[in-house]
Amino acid sequence: QSSSNIYERMVVVYGDNVPSYTTVFEGARRFKDAQLTIEDDPKSGRPITTTNDQTIKVVKNLAIEDRRITIQQIADTLSILTGTVHDILHEQSHITKFCSRWVPHLLTPDQRHERVEACQELLACYSIEKNHFLFRIITGDELLFSYYQPESKRSSKQWKQAGSPPPTKLKQEKSTNKVLYSFFWNYKEIKKQRRDLISADVILHHDNAPANTSRHLVSSAILNLKYEMLRHPPYSPDLVPSDYFLFPILKDYHKSWMEIVLPKQEISLLSGT
């Protein structure tokens, strides 16, 4: 009999519970080919389960050997699903991929060693003098301001409705005319004149910018004043105290002050004369 006749007779017997026509057709075909079993034929491909100890070990080793390998590459290598690789890495092996961290400089072994020596030196000084060591420190730094500071991107934010185009802004350059501020202060406050510190046992601290490390000018002046220098390693991540609060506040104040003063100044001021 044909598959359609078999299906029609089964509808009469089973009603709504009749198997689909595709199932009936496939069964009839198998019986005609003398395939009397109803089990599926063996298939090549991945096993029923791929999350076993051996697979977990191989996936983990691949990720460790090549830390930039992708989940897709691992799946293609082992002929398993990407979801399985993802589960093995994150849920079972607790391996996570991170982007590289940007650092300002890659320090040499000598520079790293110098950092350790500087820290040990500071700890040794503090263990002897305690807080008096900190009270002797005077930190100094310079800040260069332009007469005209373009508005920052953050301060020019605007509200916009959904679907409306974002605002545009013309890139502006800073003024070529600048003013340089120098600050020296200790744990108390900034003062215009500190005559009492001329003969005191001062420890001077500033970064190691070229202007601050000139042997012929800066070092000789410090020796004449009988000051001590606080060690500052190259490319040290530690900020000079002025960078924590003084300079950010001063930049905002200077910008608002220049917005008031500049329109009232003569052109000679802008030309630097």
Tell me the pTM: 0.47
pLDDT tens digits for range 17-48:
888 888 888 888 887 777 766 676 666 555 54
Tens-digit pLDDT profile for residues 163-182: 777 777 666 565 567 778 78
For domain 109-151+174-270, the question of CATH label 3.30.390.50 is answered with: no
Domain with CATH 3.30.420.10 in the chain: 109-151+174-270
Domain 44-102 bears CATH identifier 1.10.1060: no
- Say if strands 137-146 and 228-229 run parallel, antiparallel, or are unpaired: unpaired
Which residue would you say has higher pLDDT here, 245 or 107?
A: 107
Q: Locate CATH 1.10.10 in the chain.
A: 44-102
